[in-house]
Amino acid sequence: MNTYRFLSLLVLVALLLGGCGGQAKSEEVNLYAWSEYVPQTLLDSFTEQTGIKVNYDAYSSNEELLAKLQAGASGYDLIIPSDYIVDIMINQGMLLELDFNAIPNFQNIGDAFKDLEFDPGNKYTVPYQWGTSCLVVDTEQVTRPITRWADLWDPEFAGKIVLLDDEREVMGMVLAVLGYDNNSIDPAQLEEARAKLLELMPSVRLFDSDSPKTALLAGEVWIGQTWNGEAAIAHGENPAIDYIIPEEGCNMWYDNLAIPTDAPHADAALTLIDFILSPEASVLITEEFPYSNPNTAALELLSTENSDMYDAYMGFTATNPSPQDMERLYMIHDLGDATAMWDRIWTEVKSGE
């Protein structure tokens, strides 16, 4: 972190603590979040300037997060669930209503990312990052145009495909290839998707939700499905790696900061949320994990502090999809009782049944 950024964060925290009536009483906060998603520099700065220690535990899917909390795991103060999981958690009474008097930096979030369908009025969540999960291609290895998810079924990609280890993303993609709703609960459509995915399985080298860029950068895979931030990092290391919004469409997601109802250090969690929403801290997130940032104040700061990165952010489909691209995006919704059917099919496909 440069000296200017450090001093800015120091001044910021002093202002925050003064505005909130003093430092949070808790001396630690337990963060449960996606792996490779929250910069250690951000957490170190928060601890250095507030005295609050951050314990960071990681999960690799929304389903893992939900299952662990539903099973009774306690002690977590701050989590980062995606949109459809927020909906489930709210309905099950798993999230604490937020005190926005303690989160003045919420004003930095763009209006387009407030009051969304999964949390009307932002009673329980504030935005962290947003993005897509679409096609990624190494254009040095794949020289013909790739425009559709359906291209993955081409025999030339046998053993050269990476997919996210996420049933909602993968099966949703297959349903889109078949022309169905990515949230379908129709048994016949899901069985058709199961058969279609089984056709693809021999060509899949690996499933990886934590770091799908790794195999791509190593040349082990040429094409596949990835998060937009992973694609942005890979593109920065190898400009031949491209990110494509396919003709069939792909998923758009919103990740959010939320506090479980049984959080033992909710006061510290609120302090950390407000810190994360500051422009200075939010810029650190985009610099290290360049998904799409809903913090307009942070993007303005990035444009002045790091114009090269800002131009790269604005000019790449993964981080800044065009209005035309946005029209092809869809969202994941809660499946209700049909979740069990999806789980069964996913398990069968992964086990080769």
pLDDT digits (tens, 9 = 90+) for 33-55: 998 899 999 999 999 999 999 99
**Are residues 260 and 202 part of one domain?**
no
139 and 114, same domain (yes or no): no
Whether 325 and 226 map to the same domain: the answer is: yes
CATH number at residue 266: 3.40.190.10
d(CA 300, CA 314): 12
Number of domains the chain contains: 2
User: Do 32 and 167 sit in the same domain of this protein?
Assistant: no
Q: 237-267 pLDDT, tens per residue? A: 999 999 999 999 999 999 999 999 999 999 9
Domain of residue 179 covers 131-252+321-350
What does the pLDDT read at residue 5? 53
Residue 9 pLDDT exceeds 90: no
Do 113 and 10 lie in one domain? The reply is yes
Is residue 126 domain-shared with residue 266, that is, in the same domain?
A: yes
* Average pLDDT estimate for 109-116: 97
The residues, ordered by sequence, that sit 6+ positions from 69 with a Cβ below 8 Å of its Cβ are 76, 79, 89, 94, 260
**Domain check: are 241 and 154 in the same one?**
yes
Say yes or no to pLDDT of 117 above 90: yes
CA-to-CA distance for 27 and 7, rounded, in angstroms? Answer: 23
CA dihedral 179, 182, 188, 194 (to 10 degrees): 100
Compute the distance between CA of residue 81 and CA of residue 256 in angstroms, rounded to an integer: 6
Q: Is 178 exposed, middle or buried (0-12, 13-18, 19+ CB in 10 A)?
A: middle
Q: Please, are residues 316 and 243 in contact by the beta-carbon 8 Å criterion?
A: yes
Same domain, residue pair 46 and 194: no
Asked if residue 135 and residue 120 are part of one domain, the reply reads no
46: Cβ–Cβ under 8 A, 6 or more apart, which residues?
Answer: 13, 52, 54, 272, 275, 281
Q: Tell me the per-residue pLDDT of 267-309, one tens digit each, with 9 for 90 and over.
A: 999 999 999 999 999 999 999 999 999 999 999 999 999 999 9
Among residues 292, 264, 253, 277, the alpha carbon closest in space to that of 78 is found at 264
* Same-domain pairing of 136 and 123: no
CA triple 322-35-74, angle to 5 deg: 120
One domain, residues 150 and 217? yes
Q: State the residue for tokens 């131009």.
A: 311
What pLDDT score was predicted for residue 160?
Answer: 98
Residue 73 confidence class, pLDDT cut points 50, 70, 90: confident
List beta partners, residue 206: 162
One domain for residues 20 and 116: yes
